[in-house]
Structure 1
């Protein structure tokens, strides 16, 4: 399990695949860690270099005091990529990871050659919604919100067909440090990248789980409409985490986009 000091904190990361191959960088969502990309990485690391990490306050990375700004997350990812010598990458971001990817591409265009933005948007939710969630977690811990989050994460049949996996992802969610979770809730509350998205001129693929209850497909489609020349694709049989529910389909989308539009 590699660790390193980046942007004044310890981040847990994985750097796999051929060192000289084009790089794909993966950014996880709120309440998860780099393990959500395991099945995607297993399929793509033969051909591509795969860099993924735990966001601050998630997984095995350090948990600074809340709140976190989008600039904090950009600084973490940029420091990691600089330290690992990764430039001109295809950056794949899920949910808040998509916002981080968008902001990174705007701030450090040398690091992001193209984007895959999964189950995300230029603006997610309202200030009131995020403040209410922060309060609920402060008062009741992660377990207080777990069920309401999980029903948005997965397609209807997932907990029925994969009950052990569903329980495992619940464990991932409720074991997220409270300070890390609410810190990144503040990121989502405060980040509005509408203007950033409309000005980005680089290849982009927007993906949406057909049954996503957190960032519904129409919201993801609105992001694609903002991004000049972006493509939009739906992933059937998936909620907010298509990398978990439909990794083969998602990996094919990423790989095809990388070959045809990014590293052709």
Structure 2
């Protein structure tokens, strides 16, 4: 773990793999930190450089005053990559991380060689949905949404295992201000026009039982990008990288090769 200090933000990040390899960057979902990718990284090609970070308001990164925007969150990633002198990355974004990926590919095409949009969309939910969630959390804390969130995040088989509890705890320990500020970013984000202009190699992944961004929603976003591919991982929810990391890593490895990254 390392801290990159910027004017208004301390961003926690980590590097794994080959420090001289081509860079693969991961962006996490709402309510998780960069441990989201722990089970996937050991299954990916060892020749590559893997960079992951806690977005603002999450994990060990600082919690600037909100609300946030997707522009803010994509700008944070761009700042880190510029600091590291990294360009032309293979970007993997899940949920809000997928919104960040789309925005970054649009605003900083020099940073993005190709991308995986996982369990995400160009527009996720409605402002009313997100504002209702924000109000509930401000009144009762994140705990009030933790059980229904587990139902969206995971398929029934995984929810019945003890491992699910760790992810429930991760969600509940997310900083409230950071969480609701990112909710506001999602509420205001509509990237459909921007995403439709993208031409970089893109691969879509979704879980068959995703209760947050169902397969048809994710697929509708991939359809905006000419030449994109899409795959559903059966028996998984919103976080297939947790439930079936081997399947998830196999798809990423396949696209790494198809996109000419390795």
SS at match of 1:132: helix
Say whether the 8 Å CA contact 2:30–2:182 is kept in structure 1.
Answer: yes
Task: Name whichever of 18-27 and 173-182 sits farther off.
Answer: 18-27
Partners of 1:223 and 1:6 in 2: CA distance: 32
Partner of 2:215 in structure 1? 217
Partners of 1:7 and 1:143 in 2: CA distance: 32
Partner of 1:201 in structure 2? 199
Superposition deviation, residue 239 in structure 1: 0.4
Say whether the 8 Å CA contact 2:8–2:64 is kept in structure 1.
Answer: no
Superposition TM-score, scaled by structure 1 size: 0.97
Give the paired residue count. 262
Say whether the 8 Å CA contact 1:44–1:50 is kept in structure 2.
Answer: no
Partners of 1:116 and 1:159 in 2: CA distance: 25
- 2:179 equivalent to 1:172: no
Partner of 1:88 in structure 2? 88
Say whether the 8 Å CA contact 2:25–2:90 is kept in structure 1.
Answer: yes
Partner of 2:116 in structure 1? 116
Equivalences for 1:34-49 in 2 at 5 Å?
34-44=34-44, 46-49=46-49
Partners of 2:83 and 2:44 in 1: CA distance: 22
SS at match of 2:92: strand
Deviation string, structure 1 residues 147-202 (Cα, Å, up to 9, x no partner) = 11110000111121x22x11110000000000000000001000000001110011
Distance 1:115-1:150 versus aligned 2 partners, 3 A rule: same
Superposition deviation, residue 99 in structure 1: 0.3
Superposition deviation, residue 228 in structure 1: 1.2
Deviation string, structure 1 residues 73-94 (Cα, Å, up to 9, x no partner) = 0111001111112210010000
Superposition deviation, residue 255 in structure 1: 1.0
Equivalences for 1:105-144 in 2 at 5 Å?
105-144=105-144
**Structure 1 runs not aligned, ≥5 long:** none
* Structure 1 stretches of at least 4 aligned residues deviating more than 4 Å after TM superposition: none
- 2:65 equivalent to 1:62: no
- 2:219 equivalent to 1:251: no
SS at match of 1:39: coil
Partners of 2:22 and 2:228 in 1: CA distance: 21
Superposition deviation, residue 259 in structure 1: 1.2
Superposition deviation, residue 70 in structure 1: 1.0
Partners of 2:216 and 2:85 in 1: CA distance: 36
**Structure 2 runs not aligned, ≥5 long:** none
Partners of 1:195 and 1:231 in 2: CA distance: 19
Partner of 1:150 in structure 2? 150
Say whether the 8 Å CA contact 1:56–1:180 is kept in structure 2.
Answer: yes
